[in-house]
Amino acid sequence: MTENLSLLAEVPTCPRDEKLRPRVFADASGAYLTDDSGFRWVDFDNARGSVLLGHGDPGVAAAVAHAATGAAGTATGWSPRLDTVLERLRELCGGETVGLFRSGTAAVRAAVLAVRESTGRDLVLSAGYHGYDPMWFPGPALSAPNTDGVIDFYFDLGLLDDLLRTPQSVAAVVISPDHMHLSPDWYRQARQLCDRAEVPVIADEVKVGLRYGPGLSTADTLRPDVYTVAKGMANGFAVAAVGGSRALLKPLKEVSFTSFFEPTILAAADHTLERVATGEPQRTARDAGERFLGQARAALAEASLPLDVVGDGTFFQFVPASEGVEADFNRAADAEGLLFYAGDNQAVSAAFDDAVVADAQDRFTRVCERLAPYRGQPRPDEAARYRAAWNVLDGLGEGDRDRGATEDLIALLLDD
């Protein structure tokens, strides 16, 4: 399969080989994927973090199979399971009202447009990745709005402070949280700035929501007025949610779509949210991730490689000293069957039992052996750390810098 031979109009984000051809996986089970050559991979990508319980989770599979028979409602109209899913979301994440969508990108766009209409204001201040949507493309210059009225402040609190000095035209501040490169205090400060300006906050937790625990990861720090969640909500099935203030989300009452009541998706969400509410799969995944990271950090140190790791067992990221180190690291990981989300965050699933962790640790040791030519080279510097953070955040990691340094970094990283 190659891009120029495929009928697919889009170029989707997915694991690719050295020639940038999509990898084809014929089988998925628990923490493992098997490609079309029969090679078995340990999956740290997990559909960009969407698969929390593991591939082919028996509970999800049984619920979906039952729903597919028509015995659990129909796409034609309302079913009791819809009420259950909405109530589970409200109990987990809060909010006076909850809306459903088929993708996180659609959910975030809908949330922003609803809040914009409710407030009667046009400008949106944004930080982070909010999906493949032209709405979020950068403006023509720093602190200038794009054609959709969005200004990116790149997670820089100084820029946010400046932009909120004239809040009368700002509808909302939209933030996609990252807990690898930003501390809890960063979110508290951002909330304080928004409170001072009396501007509502939208937390785009599509990427991280429900993986850190049974609720929003920023509930006690950013305290969002509106939130979106998706990944981790249905173990990879196509559903997302918007929740929060009924007044701010009132325009959503006009939104509907043909597959709203699709029973297999509701079944996957119902079962997954029931598990997520216990916190058990999140703890299992985090513990497995921590055990892998302990060995990975030790192996990198032992081999004296120019590669760091940030984050914890829930989400972590490899930080290479250079693009050359990154390319060779990715090739070595591919050769050993460790499916990493290249350049981005890694997310294990609750299917990582002791045997899987041990297997992944052995494979990572061999990855380090393959990188022996880099032994003793300089560790990642500040520029490398900012570059790694940019790959995940679409913005700047936390740091002590003035406005000039911020502008130089953004110009450099946008140009890369």
Tell whether the model's pLDDT for residue 138 goes beyond 80.
Answer: yes
Which of 268, 358, 346 lies closest to 312, judged by CA? 346
Q: Residues 84, 218: one domain?
A: yes
Considering the domain boundaries, does residue 322 fall inside one?
yes
Q: Residues 170, 47: one domain?
A: no
* Residue 5: per-residue pLDDT: 63
**Which comes out higher in pLDDT, residue 79 or 29?**
29
Phi-psi region of 279 (alpha: psi -120 to 50; beta: other; left: phi over 0): left
Phi-psi region of 322 (alpha: psi -120 to 50; beta: other; left: phi over 0): beta
User: Given pLDDT bands bounded at 50, 70 and 90, which one contains residue 416?
Assistant: confident
Q: Residues 244, 341: one domain?
A: no
Considering the domain boundaries, does residue 105 fall inside one?
yes
Considering the domain boundaries, does residue 406 fall inside one?
no
Alpha helices in 94-183 (DSSP H): 104-119, 157-163
CATH number assigned to the domain comprising residue 31: 3.90.1150.10
User: Could you give the CA distance from residue 392 to residue 389 in angstroms, rounded to a whole number?
Assistant: 5
* Residue 179: per-residue pLDDT: 97
User: Could you give the CA distance from residue 306 to residue 183 in angstroms, rounded to a whole number?
Assistant: 24
User: Could you give the CA distance from residue 55 to residue 16 in angstroms, rounded to a whole number?
Assistant: 19
* Residue 209: per-residue pLDDT: 81
Which of the listed residues 247, 278, 309 is the one where a domain comes to its end? Answer: 278
Q: Residues 224, 286: one domain?
A: no
**Contact status, residue 186 vs residue 217, Cβ threshold 8 Å:** no
CATH number assigned to the domain comprising residue 201: 3.40.640.10
Which of the listed residues 226, 257, 278 is the one where a domain comes to its end? Answer: 278
Per-residue DSSP letter, 323: H
Q: How many domains, the chain?
A: 2
Q: Residues 145, 287: one domain?
A: no
Considering the domain boundaries, does residue 376 fall inside one?
yes
Considering the domain boundaries, does residue 19 fall inside one?
no
Q: Residues 261, 347: one domain?
A: no
Cα 203 to its chain centre, rounded Å, is 12
Q: Residues 225, 214: one domain?
A: yes
Query: What separation in angstroms does the CA of 118 have from each of 41, 111, 170, 235?
Result: 48, 11, 12, 32
Q: Residues 170, 93: one domain?
A: yes
Q: Residues 359, 273: one domain?
A: no
Considering the domain boundaries, does residue 404 fall inside one?
no
Integer-rounded Cα Rg, in Å, for the chain is: 22
Q: Residues 52, 62: one domain?
A: no
The tokens for 208 are 């991280």
What is the average per-residue pLDDT within 218-229? 98
Considering the domain boundaries, does residue 414 fall inside one?
no
Considering the domain boundaries, does residue 386 fall inside one?
no
pLDDT tens profile 97-107: 999 999 999 99
User: Given pLDDT bands bounded at 50, 70 and 90, which one contains residue 4?
Assistant: low
* Beta carbons within 8 Å of 415's beta carbon, 6+ residues apart: none
User: Given pLDDT bands bounded at 50, 70 and 90, which one contains residue 232?
Assistant: confident
Q: Residues 99, 184: one domain?
A: yes
pLDDT tens profile 20-59: 899 999 999 999 999 999 999 999 999 999 999 999 999 9
HSE on the CB side for 182, CA within 13 Å? 29
Domain range for 213 is 58-278
10 Å Cβ neighbour count for 236?
23
Q: Residues 264, 188: one domain?
A: yes
Mean pLDDT in the chain?
A: 96
User: Could you give the CA distance from residue 135 to residue 29 in angstroms, rounded to a whole number?
Assistant: 36
Share of the chain above pLDDT 70, in %: 99
Dihedrals φ, ψ of 334, to 5°? -60, -45
